Amino acid sequence: TGKRALLEGYSVAGKTGTAQKVDPATGNYSRSQYIASFAGFAPVNNPAITVAVILDSPAGPHEGGQVAAPVFGRITQQILAYLNVTRDVPLTDKRRLLLRASAATGTADMADSSSDRLGEALETAEMTPQPSYTEENSLNKPSPPILAAKALPFAADGTNKAGFLREKSKSASATVMVEIEGGLAAPSLLGMPVREALEVAEESGFELDVVGSGLAREQQPPPGARISPGGHIVVQFAR
């Protein structure tokens, strides 16, 4: 019933809800007025946000999986993108693509009642080889040799500092940083709240893995460590 809450690139866990309202005129449960809901969080193994959608007396379809789950999906997808939360599911995951397609075309309810047919399709999708997707694979791959200068969308402070040169583009006023060797120096995120740390990490060219909430207390790799552009920094937050 929660297929319509599936996200692109993120795992999600949640629960649908459908409740009959009490008819004040009769004191009995209404047969036409409902409360539909969906509450969930994402990503599953390292939750960044929790969202609850509650719809009072929706018109037309009234089940939580039909009307509240899609709202949850749209809201959660946008928030995760805004917070730049690291994806934990490949966009090419065939099982999830099949489930999303069935929900988008309105066949999710039919799929619920025809589980054998859906199960066969899922088995076919799962048997098809697909590349493994782990953060470890992406982090531990050796960096290819630098054959030419690589322009990045920001500049380091100072000149010829930490293995980088600062130069001005002749055709534009933007400042770029040219990578020479050894990767980028990890910024210090210690003492920052989550949002500020996310912004600094993004501006510095890194992905941030958030653990906990409050202020940044620990980070790995430590400040100043060399990391490949686009690499991940894991930060432990505490109050």
pLDDT: which is higher, 230 or 94: 230
pLDDT tens column, 35-82: 999 999 999 999 999 999 999 999 888 898 889 999 999 999 999 999
Dihedral sign computed on CA atoms, order 103, 105, 106, 111:
negative
Confidence of residue 93 (pLDDT cuts 50, 70, 90): low
Which residues make Cβ contacts (< 8 Å) with residue 161, sequence separation at least 6?
none
60 half-sphere exposure, CB direction, 13 A CA radius: 3
pLDDT of residue 182: 62
Dihedral sign computed on CA atoms, order 82, 86, 89, 92:
positive
Residue 148 has pLDDT above 70, yes or no: no
Confidence of residue 94 (pLDDT cuts 50, 70, 90): low
pLDDT of residue 106: 54
User: How many angstroms separate the CA atoms of 37 and 56, rounded?
Assistant: 9
User: How many angstroms separate the CA atoms of 134 and 132, rounded?
Assistant: 7
Contact 238, 212 (CB under 8 A): yes
User: How many angstroms separate the CA atoms of 12 and 114, rounded?
Assistant: 23
pLDDT: which is higher, 152 or 18: 18
Confidence of residue 163 (pLDDT cuts 50, 70, 90): very low
pLDDT of residue 177: 39
Q: Mean per-residue pLDDT for 82-105?
A: 71
Residue 175 has pLDDT above 80, yes or no: no
Q: Mean per-residue pLDDT for 145-163?
A: 40
Confidence of residue 6 (pLDDT cuts 50, 70, 90): confident
User: How many angstroms separate the CA atoms of 18 and 36, rounded?
Assistant: 5
Global confidence as pTM: 0.43
* Mean pLDDT, the chain, integer: 73
Residue 216 has pLDDT above 80, yes or no: yes
Residue 144 has pLDDT above 50, yes or no: no
Sequence ranges of the domains in the chain: 3-127, 143-238
Residue 108 has pLDDT above 60, yes or no: no
Q: What is the CATH number of domain 3-127?
A: 3.30.450.330
User: How many angstroms separate the CA atoms of 99 and 106, rounded?
Assistant: 11
User: How many angstroms separate the CA atoms of 38 and 3, rounded?
Assistant: 11
Q: What is the CATH number of domain 143-238?
A: 3.30.10.20
User: How many angstroms separate the CA atoms of 34 and 20, rounded?
Assistant: 5
Residue 114 has pLDDT above 80, yes or no: no
pLDDT of residue 99: 61
Rounded percentage of the chain residues whose pLDDT exceeds 90 = 36
Which residues make Cβ contacts (< 8 Å) with residue 26, sequence separation at least 6?
none
Sheet holding 13-22, edge to edge: 13-22, 29-42, 49-56
